[in-house]
Structure 1
């Protein structure tokens, strides 16, 4: 379970990085003024942001599931579910 949680966090971090890259491209395009980028980047940014939101929600929900699993199975004393 811990491995899945780490991978979900990694997914969140990757999506955050992609969102930053899209924003950087949009910022560079302010000086370039390429219409293609002006028309397509907002859609891309919206899609990546939606994926980031989904990944964040899933990570949080899985963390709650994991904590409940450890508690329900009396594993809290042997394994730290927040690690």
Structure 2
């Protein structure tokens, strides 16, 4: 795989990790909403299980965020090391010929 294609795939992975992080955040918000609403309903099974689900989801969010930050840094370093801006310019020149 050439360097520009690899960089573009790495950027795609970063975007997907961002989407995953956003999804995890949305799930946490929904769980929190259910927990608050359950104060009125007072369902014991929700009261017992939701905190566990909330914690696991929060742990997943932390893991995804850490992974995303690390991979974003690797992607940036790869782009700088391989002068991706120059490779893109060259690709544009080649495509206009």
Residue equivalent to 1:39: 48
Task: Name the structure where helix makes up a greater proportion of residues.
Answer: 2
Q: CA deviation at 1:77?
A: 4.5
Pairwise mapping of residues 1-83 of structure 1 onto structure 2 (< 5 A)?
A: 1-77=10-86
Deviations 1:18-54 (A, max 9, x none): 0000000001100011110110010000000000001
Q: How many residues align?
A: 79
Q: TM-score, normalised by structure 2?
A: 0.77
Displacement of 1:78: 5.0
- Superposition TM-score, scaled by structure 1 size: 0.89
Instruction: Give a deviation string over 1:34-81, Cα, whole Å, max 9, x none.
Output: 1101100100000000000011001100010001111111224456xx
Looking at structure 1, the residues matched to 86 and 29 of structure 2 have their Cα atoms a distance apart, in angstroms, of 40
Q: Higher relative CO (CA 8 A, sep ≥ 6), structure 1 or 2? A: 2
Q: Which runs of 5+ in 1 are unaligned?
A: none
User: Greater Rg, structure 1 or structure 2?
Assistant: 2
